[in-house]
Amino acid sequence: MNKTIAVTLFLYLLLILAFGALLLFVPFGPWDHDSGYYLLVSSMRNAGLLMYRDFPLQYPPLQLLINSGLMSLPLSRNELALLIPSFWLLSNLILTFFYSLKVTEHLRFSLLMGIIYCWFMIENGANHVTLEQGVIFFGLLACLVLTPFINTIPKLMMAFCMSTFSLLCKQIGVLFFIPTLFQLIFMRPWSFKLLIASFMAVLTPILLVFQFNFVDLNDITKNIFLKIVKYGQAKGLDFSIFFLEFQRSPFSIAIYILVILCGFILYQQIRLKKKKNELVLLFIQLLLFFLFLGTRLIRNFPHYSINTWPLIVCLFCLSYKYGHQIFQYFPKALAITLLVLSLYMSQSMINKIPSSAHSSVLLGFFAPLAEEIKKLHLDESKILQLGEEPIIEFLSAKLPSHPQFGWSTPYDLYNPSGEVAVLIDHGKRVIELDLVRKKLVNRGYRLSYENQFPNSSEPIYVGQIYQRQK
């Protein structure tokens, strides 16, 4: 066996290890309550309720509609909670590999980019259902037709379509229109027909998506645009991210530094060719990278960082392909650096992979709690949840009796009613929750079930079911 075949096989094995770790982190990784919310919304749409009209939603519908379609599969809710995030993770891995192969025409580097993708997703909380997965899926497709510099109308129309689909997953996807509009401006020959064709390329995906969830335009405007503006204004900018990120994920910081280095190499390479169009496009790609990363200044959620992935893979692949024109050994240096980072992550992740379902908050806490609720065989109107964890509603296959609000009720607005109260204590044990428990007991409720995660003196979650005594 020669050295080339050995390295290729080693990278295949490393990719299998990395993706296996990524799949394990779907149930075993840190939980995010947004995952339960997105799953619940998709199940509500699958039950015939319309987004924006029957219940509020501040996000575009595309990815949630796709998730709703996956829920038609003959699987249990527990299985769907694992399948749906795994579907998006696998889809984006495949796209990353084929994008890298198309640009670099190098199998081993494409495998390496797939490995880096897996570790980057793990490090930035992509193990749960999140709208960012849809954004980068269609963002990668947009980059696929935008790289290298394009000069055909069909490719431009496809880029507009993919950018629109990215926007229809989450509002931040609108940023992918920036390089596409740049391509339109420099398209030659330029004509009014080209402008009309571009407009239709944007309008067609919108009409296609909203025909599956057609509601009044006023409802869409109030939900998607006005609510997201209020969401962004809720807090000021938090610049502490730039210091905390070094502690949270050195791997991510290393990737960001490499992106800047690759941008510099590409700048030097394009400057030598004296192609202004490509130079402007490079600056736009770097701008998008920092804009996507900058969303964490508004809300410091690590999974916001995965929006940068299409730009990361694009800049890595282009610099690998053309970097030798500036520095002969740059492609090899880049590949070796990424391989070292991959090996470092492989070693560090071995100690993080749990060994049983009891280490999973999804399988070891929420699923058993939801199963207890299902055993009660009660109508949704008889059940009230205290504590915002929509995953319980999804796993118990129950829809909110009042979709405008769901089960979740703020503790300070709680008025005991119904036959069952589900109390979710996020391990804080605050006085407010003790008052709620006393109020439940005074109103004739008795504790019938209790579970906590992990099973220690300082649990992160405590779940309790109180039933009214007859």
pLDDT tens column, 315-337: 999 899 888 888 888 889 999 99
How much of the chain is in helix, strand and coil states, percent to nearest 5? 65, 5, 25
Q: What is the pLDDT of residue 407?
A: 44
Q: What is the pLDDT of residue 149?
A: 56
Q: What is the pLDDT of residue 155?
A: 83
| Contact residues for 137 (Cβ-Cβ < 8 A; gap 6+) | 88, 91, 92, 95, 166, 169
Angle between helices 62-70 and 33-46 (to 10 degrees): 70
What CA–CA distance (Å, rounded) separates 178 from 51? 28
What CA–CA distance (Å, rounded) separates 307 from 44? 27
Strand partners, 461: 453
In the block, residue with structure tokens 């058993």 = 368
Q: Is-contact 390 341, C-beta < 8 A?
A: no
Alpha carbon distance, N-terminus to C-terminus of the chain: 76
Which candidate, 397, 356, 357, 405, places its Cα nearest to that of 373? Answer: 397
Residues of the chain under the 50 pLDDT cut:
356, 403-407, 411
Q: What is the pLDDT of residue 374?
A: 84
Beta strands in 41-87 (DSSP E): none
Q: Mind listing the pLDDT tens digit for each residue in 92-132?
A: 999 999 999 998 989 999 999 999 999 999 999 888 899 99
Instruction: Using CB atoms within 10 Å of the CB of residue 82, give its burial: 0 to 12 exposed, 13 to 18 middle, 19+ buried.
Output: middle
With a threshold of 0.85, does the pTM exceed it?
yes
Residue ranges and CATH numbers for the domains of the chain are 3-350 (no CATH), 360-468 (3.40.190)
Q: What is the pLDDT of residue 351?
A: 64
Token digits of residue 182: 């740049």
- Between the alpha carbon of residue 349 and those of residues 82, 89, 346, the distances in Å are 20, 18, 5
In this structure, the strands spanning 420-425 and 383-386 are parallel
Instruction: Using CB atoms within 10 Å of the CB of residue 456, give its burial: 0 to 12 exposed, 13 to 18 middle, 19+ buried.
Output: exposed
What CA–CA distance (Å, rounded) separates 170 from 137? 12
Strand ranges across the sheet with 445-453: 383-386, 420-425, 461-468, 445-453
Q: What is the pLDDT of residue 74?
A: 93
| Contact residues for 127 (Cβ-Cβ < 8 A; gap 6+) | 22, 25, 26, 29, 30, 85, 89, 121
Helix locations, 351-461, DSSP H = 361, 367-375, 391-395, 431-442
- Between the alpha carbon of residue 339 and those of residues 19, 24, 134, 244, the distances in Å are 15, 22, 27, 25
> How many CB atoms within 10 Å of residue 181?
14
Backbone angles phi and psi of 386, in degrees to 5: -115, 110
Q: What is the pLDDT of residue 447?
A: 87
Strand partners, 451: 463
Which candidate, 42, 54, 33, 51, places its Cα nearest to that of 224? Answer: 51
Q: What is the pLDDT of residue 259?
A: 92
